[in-house]
Amino acid sequence: MPEPASTEPAATATEAPLLETTALTRHFRIGGLRGRVLHAVDSVDLRIDEREIVALVGESGSGKSTIARLLAMLYKPTSGTIRFRGSPVADLKARSDLLAYRGQVPMVFQDPFSSLNPAHTVSYAMMRGLKLHQPALTRREREAEAERVLETVGLVPARQSLVKYPHEMSGGQRQRVNFAQALSYRPKLVLADEPVSMLDVSIRVGLLNLMARLRDDEGVSVLFITHDIASARYVSDRVVVMYAGHVVETGPTDEVLHSPVHPYTQLLLSAVPDPRAPIAISSADAGGPPRVIDPGEGCRFRWRCPLAVQACSQVTPRLRPSSAGHEAACHVTAP
Amino acid sequence: MASPILDVREISVEYLSRGEPARAVDQVSFELMPGEFLGVVGESGCGKSTLLFAIVQLLRAPAVITGGEVIFKGTNMVQMSEKVLRAIRWRDYSIVMQSAMNALNPVTTIGAQYADALRAHQKISKEAILDRSRQVFELVGIDPVHLGSFPHQLSGGMRQRAMIAMALLFSPELIVMDEPTSALDVVAQRALMVQIKELQRELGFAVIFVTHDMSLVSHFSDRLAVMYAGQFAELGATSSVFADPMHPYTAGLLDAFPSVYGPKVYLDGIPGAPPDLANPPRTCRFLARCPKAMTICAGPAPEFYELAGRRVRCFLHDPAGGSDA
Amino acid sequence: MSLREGLDRLMTGTSGNLARAVAGNKKALTGLTLLLIFAFMAIFPGLLAHDNPNAEIYPRSAAPSASHLLGTTSYGQDIFSQWVFGTRESLFLAIVVGGLATVLSVLIGVTAAYRGGVVDVALSLFTDVFLVIPAFPLVVVIAAYSKNGGNSILIAVLVVTGWSYGARQLRSQALSLRNRDFLAAARVRGERQWRIIVFEILPTMTSLIVANFLGAAVYAVLAAAGLQFIGLGNPDGMSWGTMLFWAENNEALQAGSPLWAIMPGIAIAALGGAFALLNYAFDEIGNPSLRPVRRARG
């Protein structure tokens, strides 16, 4: 049933998160006679409140995309729970319940060139989504709503965009269509999986501004998954840093980026090329894929960490508070 | 006074199609001195990769060079036969591509590929091949044991370095690179760039580095060319371009990067899209998106003006006229 | 969305591209022209041939003349009439067999690819069995045991032996589409699986499906002619294959009525060729690198 776009003011941030995960884990069996297991996501506690943008930052192999797919119910967790508004998502069995969840937590994909079906117009995609998630509307009302959200995301005039095919639009325009689709469901939380990584730089900022508007004007939370710290800083309220399937640091964005605690966060920050920052050639950490196949106990960053001590290879560090709302998982810097 | 190693004059490239041909590169000219690091930045569709491939004569149908010259070490490469090109390719200049997995043969070892490349240009003994292969591996910091590895057995960063090593086999004087770091993560990117710069200082080759990531190249290039809609919008010393961008597109591009350390400000980016290169406007190509457009901009397009060692294609900096409102 | 709307969507997506592509391709135009000529002959045979093709009333084994353009058979039938009227059955067989075989290929191939797992293994095994069975001997055996079944047996046999190759192809293509984001996006949107297969996957595969149909049609034309020629079709029917059968039985080539055998032979080749030309053209059209997509990121 259609709800007004702006919700009541959020309860105090410490109560009733919009979405939270507890020890969320996802493993994949990969081939080989030894039956090896890929630990894509291990024991992740995540929390997203109303009207906030949380940036999930990490490199490829960190598990951030897997988290998005777990939250979108494209994968089932190997263990752990996901709670949306207090109720476990695993309890949703009836088709109507699942559909309701999908309307509340839609996803925007990374690649604007493959996330829209090339055989269908924008109108088809929008109308399908509305048919599924706002079934009470008449056809006229659906058309009006489709136009409204297209204009909200900046595709003006909406009528023109509705009749276009994906190949007639630029990457930026396609991503706006994707956001419009998500918005038309009147969601509470949009999962945005690297929504700007494949767009030109001059266009990215426009979409980041759009996400901020969604939070401010439409009351929608966004889980913004990215590998680009600068974009994370520009638009997010809180940041969660992941490495090799684990959360290594989390807290208010400005706080974490200003005073990073975990060595990986520090490494990431030092490696970001910023034309306005003074030229600093950092030490030659060659990077390298994180070890997620049968990793065993212990901190997964220890092979690259300049501060590693013996405890790091024996015990997996847990997130511990370092200051208000700021946590890090490191035996050395956050014991 | 050294003479330029590469002199590109009015090079134009068109993509032939059933309709109007699209001019991806429109009369681009520049010079490159020996040992110089030139960065070419631009967004998708600006023609930077096409320009690169035109310079090294690796364009494929439907792309065709329709005008201009590429004078490399005194000879015009556009007119060279494939036979002559093959002789100097890899020896005098080499190419590093965007993805090692596209450039390296997945079914032979790295060492075997180096051997192929070496043998293609000269009679060379097995020991000499091994020697040189080890040498280039050392230059880029890979353990020589990996000469026997297949490309998929190396990590992404190592593969890219193996490609760079391959480009160094004959100590060429010019290496062109097409976004060689875009497939890597931030940390590996930084490490690779540092490595490239060190190699360049050590061995003295010139580099043309094409990328869409301005901030990445900013710390490493001597000069920077900003490309838009098939033309150079601005060309000058990197530090000058960054400190004082002359073309509104350059300024807009710099502003489109949210900063990690600086103050948090609302950014606009550059709304709009580049013009259709099959039917480019007669006016300045950036007019539709330019925040500083003047009345004169509605007339014929500006030239590539020269001021104090920098060049810019914008009426704001026309040395002849004043700036009209 | 109603079924009609759904079908509309299926057609509008790519038909603009198709029309343009066909018009610009010489092979496609030739094939299409031939096909249209044959279609005309099949639908309006009376306009072209004025004699009853079955009537055995004319002078026997007559040479071509003004009243009998291709001469007469040794039974006294007008060859030209037979030839024109025979188009209908031959074309009908090609289209029906092509269509049914394609439907089977699509159902089995795409389902196998999308469902994956056990379903895929089972369906692929099933497909492989039919792929490996030598079609013509099988067809001969089945048809021989079921004589006088008329054309329905012929159609059934050809469909059963003709669907497996297409199923392989379609499965491969569907597999390559499986990880495209728009399918994941459809799932996240909450679409049911059957809707995803019919409205998301199939529309992007129309070129390959049409190409499959054309290939199956070629197979049908030639295999049907072959079976009819050796007498396993319906000998009382009126098609080019049966013409060949009767011509052979009466030693037409030696007995001085060569056109009785040659003309149906040419027609069979031409119809098969028409489908084949269109097939080549669709290969070219279906190749995504020829599609007019401009990847502007802005």
**HEC assignment per residue over A79-126:** EEEEEECCEEHHHCCCHHHHHHHHHHCCEECCCCCCCCCCCCCHHHHH
Q: B touches which chains (3+ CB pairs under 8 A)?
A: A, C
- Confirm or reject contact between A154 and chain C (CB < 8 A): no
Distance CA C172, CA C197 (A): 15
pLDDT category at C68 given cuts 50, 70, 90 is confident
Report chain C's mean pLDDT, rounded to a whole number.
Answer: 81
Is A277 close to B260, i.e. CB distance below 8 A?
yes
The percentage of chain A sitting over the pLDDT mark of 70, rounded to a whole number, equals 90
- Confirm or reject contact between C298 and chain B (CB < 8 A): yes
* Digit-coded pLDDT (tens) for C240-279: 888 888 888 888 777 777 888 888 899 999 999 999 888 8
The pLDDT value recorded for residue A277 is 59
Name the minimum distance, in Å, from the CA of B208 to any CA of chain A: 19
- Helix %, strand %, coil % of chain B (to 5): 35, 20, 40
Average pLDDT value for residue range A302-313? 85
Is C293 close to A98, i.e. CB distance below 8 A?
no
Is A107 close to C180, i.e. CB distance below 8 A?
no
Phi, psi of C112 (to 5 degrees): -60, -45
Contact A126, A180 (CB under 8 A): yes
* Digit-coded pLDDT (tens) for C154-183: 888 889 888 998 999 999 988 988 878 899
Angle (nearest 5°) at CA C41 between C215 and C262: 75
pLDDT per residue, tens digit, chain B (325 aa), is: 578 999 999 999 998 877 788 899 999 999 999 999 999 999 888 999 999 999 999 888 788 999 999 999 888 999 888 888 888 888 899 999 887 777 888 899 999 999 998 998 888 899 999 999 999 998 888 888 888 988 888 877 888 889 999 999 998 999 999 988 877 878 888 888 888 998 998 899 999 999 988 888 888 999 999 999 999 999 999 999 988 999 999 999 988 888 887 788 888 888 888 888 888 888 999 999 999 988 889 889 898 999 888 999 999 988 776 544 4
Integer CA distances (angstroms), C238 to C233, C242, C262, in order? 11, 6, 16
Angle (nearest 5°) at CA C211 between C205 and C216: 125
Angle (nearest 5°) at CA C100 between C96 and C102: 120
* Digit-coded pLDDT (tens) for A17-28: 999 999 999 998
Q: Which amino acid is at B302?
A: P
Maximum alpha-carbon separation in chain B: 70
Sign of CA dihedral A166, A168, A171, A175: negative
Q: How many CB atoms lie within 10 A of CB A54?
A: 23
Distance CA A186, CA A221 (A): 11
Window from A6-10, A191-195, A277-281 with minimum mean pLDDT: A6-10
Residues of C in contact with B43 (CB under 8 A): 297-298
Top residue of C25, C289, C290, C297 to mutate, by most chain B CBs within 10 Å, is: C297
Residue A8 has pLDDT above 80, yes or no: no
Task: List the one residue out of C101, C71, C252 whose CA is nearest residue C170.
Answer: C101
pLDDT category at C17 given cuts 50, 70, 90 is low
- Confirm or reject contact between C1 and chain B (CB < 8 A): no
* Digit-coded pLDDT (tens) for C108-155: 999 999 888 899 999 999 999 988 888 778 777 877 777 666 778 788
Residue A53 has pLDDT above 50, yes or no: yes
Of A119, A167, A198, the CB nearest to C204: A119
pLDDT category at C234 given cuts 50, 70, 90 is confident
Residue A260 has pLDDT above 60, yes or no: yes
Of A201, A204, A274, the CB nearest to B260: A274
3-class SS of residue A317: coil
- Helix %, strand %, coil % of chain A (to 5): 35, 20, 45
Residue C291 has pLDDT above 50, yes or no: no
Query: What six digits make up the tokens of B294?
Result: 């003047």
* B62: preceding bond cis by omega (within 30 degrees): yes
The pLDDT value recorded for residue B221 is 92
- CATH homologous superfamily for C68-290? MetI-like (1.10.3720.10)
The pLDDT value recorded for residue C127 is 94
Interface ipTM above 0.90: no
Higher pLDDT, A190 or B185: A190
Task: List the one residue out of A322, A284, A288 whose CA is nearest residue A306.
Answer: A284
CB within 8 Å of C105: residues ≥ 6 apart: C163, C164, C165, C166, C167, C169, C170, C212, C216
Q: How many CB atoms lie within 10 A of CB A2?
A: 11
Domain boundaries along the sequence of chain C: 68-290
Residues of B in contact with A174 (CB under 8 A): none
Residue A99 has pLDDT above 90, yes or no: yes
pLDDT category at A295 given cuts 50, 70, 90 is confident
Distance CA A197, CA A204 (A): 8
Distance CA C250, CA C252 (A): 5
Phi, psi of B40 (to 5 degrees): -115, 115
Sign of CA dihedral A103, A108, A112, A117: negative
Contact A296, A312 (CB under 8 A): no
- Confirm or reject contact between A91 and chain C (CB < 8 A): no
Phi, psi of B113 (to 5 degrees): -70, -40
- Confirm or reject contact between B254 and chain A (CB < 8 A): yes
Query: What six digits make up the tokens of B301?
Result: 């397009």
If you ran DSSP here, which 8-state letter would residue A14 be given?
T
Q: How are beta strands B63-72 and B37-41 bridged, if at all?
A: unpaired
Is C294 close to A99, i.e. CB distance below 8 A?
no
Is C13 close to A119, i.e. CB distance below 8 A?
yes
The pLDDT value recorded for residue C15 is 57
Selected residues 6-65 of chain C with any CB under 8 Å from a CB in chain B: 24
The pLDDT value recorded for residue C122 is 95
The pLDDT value recorded for residue C269 is 92
The pLDDT value recorded for residue C12 is 46
Average pLDDT value for residue range A112-127? 91
Q: How many CB atoms lie within 10 A of CB B168?
A: 21
Residues of A in contact with C203 (CB under 8 A): 117, 119-120
Integer CA distances (angstroms), C222 to B325, C225, C235, in order? 76, 5, 17
Residues of A in contact with C286 (CB under 8 A): none
The pLDDT value recorded for residue C19 is 66
The pLDDT value recorded for residue C285 is 64
* Digit-coded pLDDT (tens) for C43-65: 888 888 777 777 788 888 778 88
Sort residue A84 into left (φ over 0), alpha (ψ -120 to 50) or beta: beta
Task: List the one residue out of B212, B186, B194 whose CA is nearest residue B41.
Answer: B212
pLDDT category at A282 given cuts 50, 70, 90 is low
pLDDT category at C238 given cuts 50, 70, 90 is confident
The pLDDT value recorded for residue A278 is 52
Name the minimum distance, in Å, from the CA of A292 to any CA of chain B: 14
pLDDT category at A6 given cuts 50, 70, 90 is very low
